[in-house]
Chain A
Amino acid sequence: MRLRAEYRVESNLKFLGNLDMMNLMTRALRRAAIPFALSEGFNPHVKLSMGTVLPVGVWGKKEYFDLELIQEMHPGDFIEKMNRVLPLGMEIQQCIKLDDKQDALMKIINAASYTFVLKPSDYDYSALPDRLMSQDKLLVKSRGKQKGIDKDLRPGIFKITVNYYEQSVMIGIWVNVGEPINVRYDELLDLLKDQGVKHEEVLDIFRSENFMRAGNVFYSPFEKVR
């Protein structure tokens, strides 16, 4: 059987790389004695597939993985067993059964939202969404594969929100992931800096959600399954 799990990665674990995350999760699966399936061959590995990579330096509110089991297991049971062994700062929040026909996470996740937590200042953040969304092009230097090349983020940005709180301002940016344009959080940070946001005003950055986007609708990786 297959399970899909949603988990949270707190700030104390935000510096882990993708391989570190994989190791953390497979070791937790072993500690929790989950009946995971193993691949064949000389170096058997747990049949675990993580969603899109959580960038180093960013924590995540809703991250996902799929797991193949060799025995039936109730999703609630899975959550309980895993949360008992997961380190501080990581927690499984939801889990559902997947049927065999469901596509892998890597295939379906095509959008994400990042939240930038900023120190309140004189800066007028409320004008930011319209100003950015009305541009034809939003050029930054690529930090991805073609490092340093001019990259237009505009077609990869779907929505920008601004919310004011007592101690902070939160800017949410909904972006495309993977093809045709992969928007990275650090490129968004560069974009904000180009707009006059100062580095020391950025208190925190996290990925708030991962989505399967269909047109203007953003589904969570759980929704289509249900």
Chain B
Amino acid sequence: MKDKIFRDILPNVSKPARYTGSEVNIICKDWDKCRTKMAFAFPDVYEVGMSHVGSKILYGLVNEKSDHLLERVYAPWPDMEKEMRSHEIPLFTLESFKAVNEFDVVGFTLQYELAITNVLNMLDMSDIPLWSKDRNEQYPLIIAGGPVVFNPEPYADFFDVFIVGDGEEVLLEFLDCCWENRHLKRQEQLLKLALLEGVYVPSLYSVYYNENGTFNKMIPLYESVPDTIKKRVVADLDDAYFPDKPVLPYMSIVHDRAVLEVMRGCQRGCRFCHAGVVYRPVRERSIKTLKKQASEQLASTGYDEIGLTSLSTLDYSGVDSLVKDLVKEYREQGTGVSLPSLRVDAFSIELANEVQKVRKTTLTLAPEAGTQRMRDIINKNVTEEQLLAAVKAAFQSGWLSIKLYFMDGLPGETEEDLEGILELLKKIRTMGDENARKKVEIRASIASFVPKAHTPFQWHAQNTIEELEEKRRVLSRNRMKRIKMSFHDSRTSYLEGVFSRGDRRLSSSIYLAWQKGSKFDGWSEYFNFSRWMEAFRESDIKPDFYTSRLRPYDEVLPWEFIDTGVSKAYLQDENEKAATGITTGDCRWDGCTGCGICPAFAIDLDIKEEFGG
């Protein structure tokens, strides 16, 4: 098959290096000597999937630390899909060029709600039935993990199993269990797997709805099957596996650098933030571990950049000395350090200057809202003074352009809050003109707020597309010199909203949308909204039911059975505090805020260093 692909197909597609495999540090294990064979499927194109840190972790973990095997497959770009279908080439992995349906397990990572159409398309290209009920033990187990599966219900009918929480904590156990029970019938296999903590088998539950369409309850069909699914949590990141030899792509990928995950989780408590809840509590890696990982990764890849990643890297207790040490150590080889979105304060700018010594980076800040009132509502504990001090420091140290992230459509938003964004942008520009050596450029990216499951804002109504479009008009009514604004597509945000708080009944809409040709929905050139609306109509789904309704506190939510550890009382309390503009502290500094997650997992915030910044 490989020869045919190289000879007849790759010369005719764009970016053929997406499909050739044979990268540096690829691990090709002996198929016949391995136990459970798993294909790790990323439902987006190679350069996106190859940038995902979680995939790198699981790839190395399974292949280096077990007798199982894990091979990679990414969504073929539509031109490649067309070629493959016309030559009757099934979806294949990059290690062995074996068809995906020859594997025992196919695991998808769901990083984004709308990636589901790519999942269906990839299953279809593998000749695997899309509905879980149509697959027996002749077919691979189709599983999924990642942030999206904290509300797995909209996708429940397509997957045999969901894995909830930190994947490296559970995957080997899971593959062992698959191996031990490989001779059983599918149903019996599933019953065994359902006993593992963090493993959810949707077909083992019945779901009931109320007459008004709201969710009523979910009942396990067997006594052994748990009522709630508790996420899995790595207790100490220093002990957790992290790859020293990540696969090095030949073509440029989105995040093309060595990566250090300095910590997992975030303690800031922004009330809109899904990741902030589901990845809690904060667990850090020690500087010692990180420096060792940096040196191993650079030696095995030859990258000239080290990225420090996490939800809020500038909060990492060792960030100051880590950055300074890395810069010092690798500067001479021209190897730089990069920081993702910065915290909004002067300390961040000082560190960014440190980073700049080697390589120029863009400066990105996320004030999220334009007025103090709104920042208090969302618990973004940043003041205008801090923000202006940060940009002043940045302009004084030579930056000429700054990127800012905002959200609109937030709960309780008024015209004043929108005007606040514009005012803030102008103030920042003025700050630039007074402090920078040249005229400055400001870029603002405005995303629409999408209420997410497991957050304090999970009960809120989402702005309608019309409301969001009107806000966009307000924000962009006057052109402002040297300020560029870009907006997320409000229709995409709407769909994300449907699925982020959706339930099982949505599966037929997803199936229909895929059948009508939906795929790569995260890519504006392929996104087609009317196809989705048709799919909803034909499957008798009113999508507004999921987005536009203010849910009462006593409504049972379809994702409640997924136990992230957070208490419902805490979420409710946070939501009430938001309504009155009362902020909540940061549990790293201000003591426990009572979210309930640490006691639920009998762990604690894991701070590794004395904070020096």
Contact = CB atoms under 8 A, between A and B. Distances in A.
A15 B17 contact: yes
A160 interface: no
A24 interface: yes
Given A28-B302, A30-B304, A43-B360, A38 B334 contact: yes
A43 B303 contact: no
A57 B251 CA distance: 14
B17 A42 contact: no
A169 B298 CA distance: 45
Nearest to B20: A15
A78 to B, nearest CB: 16
A56 interface: yes
Contact of B303 (A17, A27, A56): A27
A16 B301 contact: no
Given A15-B17, A42-B359, A30 B250 contact: no
Contact of A20 (B6, B250, B334, B359): B250
Given A15-B17, A45-B334, A56-B16, A23 B300 contact: no
Nearest to A200: B8
Contacts of B17: 15-17, 20
B567 to A, nearest CB: 48
Contacts of B252: 19-20, 23
A31 B6 contact: no
B45 interface: no
Contact of A27 (B6, B248, B358, B359): B248
B254 interface: no
Contacts of B301: 27, 31
B340 to A, nearest CB: 19
A13 interface: yes
A181 interface: no
A44 interface: yes
A87 B251 contact: no
A87 B24 contact: yes
Nearest to A19: B252
Contacts of B592: none
A89 B24 CA distance: 11
A26 interface: yes
A29 interface: yes
B539 to A, nearest CB: 41
Nearest to B301: A27
Given A42-B360, A87-B24, A11 B6 contact: yes
Nearest to A58: B11
B474 interface: no
A12 B20 CA distance: 7
Which of the listed residues B23, B251, B298 has the most CB atoms from chain A within 10 Å of its own CB?
Answer: B251
A176 B360 CA distance: 40
Nearest to A24: B250
Interface string B246-262: 00101110000000000
A19 B20 CA distance: 16
Interface in A1-43: 11-13, 15-17, 19-20, 23-24, 26-31, 38, 42-43
A26 to B, nearest CB: 7
A128 interface: no
A29 B22 contact: no
Interface of B: 6, 10-11, 16-17, 20, 22-24, 248, 250-252, 298-304, 333-335, 358-360
Interface of A: 11-13, 15-17, 19-20, 23-24, 26-31, 38, 42-46, 56-57, 85, 87-89
Closest 9 CB pairs of A and B: A27-B302, A30-B302, A15-B16, A44-B334, A31-B302, A42-B360, A38-B334, A20-B250, A87-B24
19 contacts: A13-B20, A13-B250, A15-B16, A15-B17, A15-B20, A16-B250, A20-B17, A20-B252, A23-B252, A27-B248, A27-B303, A30-B303, A30-B304, A31-B301, A38-B333, A43-B360, A44-B359, A85-B302, A89-B22
